[in-house]
Amino acid sequence: MDWKTFDWRSQKVGQKGEVLNKTVYRCGYCKGSGLISSKGNARCPVCLGSGTVRTPAPAVICAYCDGEGRAYLNKDLICNVCRGKGIINIESEKIENCPVCVKELAESATVGFRV
């Protein structure tokens, strides 16, 4: 039996950074309903009304929109990173941290603050 993390509040399978191995996911833009209520129950432009989207495995939740499929500043726009799916395909299941970011984080942790 495969255990999956499921957040009932946001209805997302998985967490940020967790590698997902399915190919069919709930549409992030319409939250799986297939309709956009803010547009008078118009058909979702991302999933075309089906409520699901396909992405080749492996994949991760979009860190830019947090899996919502909507742009950060204007929730009526589709996220440019994941194209509204809420999921992004990755090349490998091995996720490595950026060496520049790791170095900067280590340097900032060693710098002391004066009061």
Residues ≥6 apart with Cβ < 8 Å to 85 = 25, 27, 28, 29, 46, 53, 55, 62, 69
Q: Residue 19: how many CB atoms within 10 A of its CB? A: 14
At 2 the pLDDT is 46
- The number of folded domains in the chain is 1
Q: Which of 9, 93, 32, 89 is nearest to 56 (CA)?
A: 89
At 48 the pLDDT is 92
pLDDT tens per residue, the chain (115 residues)?
444 444 444 445 566 667 788 888 899 888 888 888 776 778 999 999 898 999 888 888 888 888 888 888 887 889 998 999 988 888 876 666 667 766 776 766 555 544 4
Q: What pTM was estimated for this model as a whole?
A: 0.63
Which structural domain, as residue segments, surrounds residue 64?
1-115
